[in-house]
Amino acid sequence: MVVQSDRTVLLEVDNPGYQEARDALARFAELEKSPEHIHTYRLSPLSLWNAAASGLSAEAILDALARYSKYDIPGNIQADVRDYVSRFGRLKLRRAPDGGLLLSAEDPLLMLEVSRQRKVSQFIIGEVDERTVQINPAMRGHIKKALVDVGFPAEDLAGYVDGAPLPIHLLEAARANGKAFNLRHYQRDAVETFYADGSAQGGSGVVVLPCGAGKTIVGMGVMEQLQTNTLILTTNTVAVRQWIDELHDKTSLATDEVGEYTGDVKEIKPVTITTYQILTYHKRRPRAGDEADLFDDFGTSARPFTPDDFPHFQLFNQRDWGLIVYDEVHLLPAPMFRMTAELQGRRRLGLTATLVREDGKEDHVFALIGPKKYDVPWKDLERQGWIATAYCHEIRLDMAPERRFEYALAESREQYRLAATDPAKMAVVQQLIAKHPDDQVLVIGTYLDQLTKIAALLDAPLLTGKTPVRERQALYRQMREGTLRCLVVSKVANFAIDLPDVSVAIEVSGTFGSRQEEAQRLGRILRPKSDDRPAHFYAIVMRDTRDQLFAANRQMFLTEQGYKYEILYHDDLVDYDPAHSDATW
């Protein structure tokens, strides 16, 4: 690698040490670009703070850079790494003896500097001494977000309410779904790292694991440690019911202790599972400026919530929750950040396959849910057999001349739609399915008119956001039972699908350059197969168009995890044999 003074790190792909260096970099740097030969990473404040929160020291980071660097590490980089890593935890939030909230610093000059910042000063209600100020306890989340904004993230040691007690135990070594069930070693490590023996250092943060690696099991392991009433927030009703099934199957919870709070059912039980959608439902359309008033800055200028804004937010106060689980935390909508800012007294566990957010609000997750507590490279779990071996392929097609003419005259957004929905992709879908006669296949896309045509061509069912929950569950059940071979799905199926034997995914269109979406889609096929067969992920793109450009961006997160895309052209498909794929560039 080459470490440059602008905080970028250039990593040579065709080097014997590439894989080892990439795994080291992923712990404290962010991947920015991943063309064929040189990948570009960046050392950002947030990536270094997450590394520091996970226990990585500045010296360990610099040692890793020095170990793999072709040249000396620039002096300013060494200084920046030490500075940013040291900033995490120099300010600490603690509980005062009278129940108030204190912000303290060992350095009185740092406290003077920070407390004079406008974003911070509005939450200070008094000075205790030159190193300590008193904070409005109701603004615990707001002050943490403000401190991240000014570059000095606080370590929150103020503790948490215990919540109402709830006896819960994992049925380890019991027969769950006909199989012996035990926490895997990395799941147990994730639980213990988050819990931190019940100390103030634990209790809030994010666990990052690949799709199919058992994030739900980690959530249940944390629930067992805490023995408390738990509110679980997830992406849709299907996910809610999957959580309920898993809780009944793998824990000691009785049926009447687990509740569903959705559009269909409104139960509030010791363990309640709901969706982000229902919690952010509002009865009226926001007036112009409302969204900014409600959510921007998390400051006191933001007007308070009212029952008319989000009537289901009252769920947060319906029971004495000791733990809130944010499933797929990378999809957390903006209103939930504001509410989470006011829930800092509750333990908070975020679960995700990727912390990448296309809106750039990773720092909101860091400040309000907590720092990254545990992460395992996808390829590590693949090598250990916990997720399926996966081969990624990009198939590039040429536009027909008449279509290319229409594309050239279109506006940029319309250009992407034209390329992404090019009818030439339909024949390739058929060819790929024919190459996998013994595999179950998901065809995934974004544009409903395109998916409708593909479903008709394949004589396969189509699952979209409008598909009723009961029908969705019936389709998933047919896939699990093996009576349905091919399912065409919209982006509603990017997450919360448990189809362990699906081994092929064909992506015909995506949400522009969404890296998180690509990771979620690959995740649909990563559960280990009963016969150990590999998984194949195909992205079909139109050559020399915005479709290809966005596809390159979508692939970045998976490239960071160690996946490479085998590039195929239409003519290559005649001789292409999936059994001999080597996933090379």
**pLDDT surpasses 70 at 299:** no
Residue range 157-162: average pLDDT?
Answer: 91
Domain 175-376 falls under CATH 3.40.50.300? yes
581 falls in which pLDDT band (50, 70, 90)?
A: low
Tell me whether the CATH fold assigned to 175-376 matches the one assigned to 382-580. yes
Model confidence pLDDT, tens digit, residues 324-346:
999 988 888 877 887 788 788 89
Model confidence pLDDT, tens digit, residues 175-185:
445 554 689 99
Per-residue pLDDT at 87: 94
For residues 82 and 8, what is the distance between their CA atoms, to the nearest angstrom?
16
Of 239 and 61, the one with more pLDDT: 61
For residues 478 and 472, what is the distance between their CA atoms, to the nearest angstrom?
10
**pLDDT surpasses 80 at 482:** yes
Model confidence pLDDT, tens digit, residues 511-552:
876 777 888 888 888 888 878 889 999 999 999 999 998 888
**pLDDT surpasses 80 at 296:** no
pTM exceeding 0.75: yes
Work out the number of other CB atoms within 10 angstroms of the CB of residue 55: 9
For residues 178 and 161, what is the distance between their CA atoms, to the nearest angstrom?
38
192 falls in which pLDDT band (50, 70, 90)?
A: very high
Three-class secondary structure of residue 169 per DSSP: coil
Q: Which amino acid is at 102?
A: L
Model confidence pLDDT, tens digit, residues 33-66:
777 788 899 999 999 999 998 889 999 999 999 9
DSSP 239-275: HHHHHHHHHHHHB---GGGEEEESSS-B---SEEEEE
Q: Which residues of 11-36 are buried (b: 16+ CB within 10 A; e: fewer)?
A: bbbeeeebeebbbbbbbbbbbeebee
401 falls in which pLDDT band (50, 70, 90)?
A: very high
Per-residue pLDDT at 582: 53
For residues 147 and 152, what is the distance between their CA atoms, to the nearest angstrom?
5
Per-residue pLDDT at 554: 83
Specify the fold of 91-156. Alpha-Beta Plaits (3.30.70)
290 Cβ neighbours under 8 A, 6+ residues apart: none
Q: Where are the domains of the chain?
A: 2-87, 91-156, 175-376, 382-580
**pLDDT surpasses 50 at 254:** yes
169 falls in which pLDDT band (50, 70, 90)?
A: very high
CATH placement of domain 382-580: 3.40.50.300
Torsion of CA 49, 51, 57, 63, to 10 degrees: -120
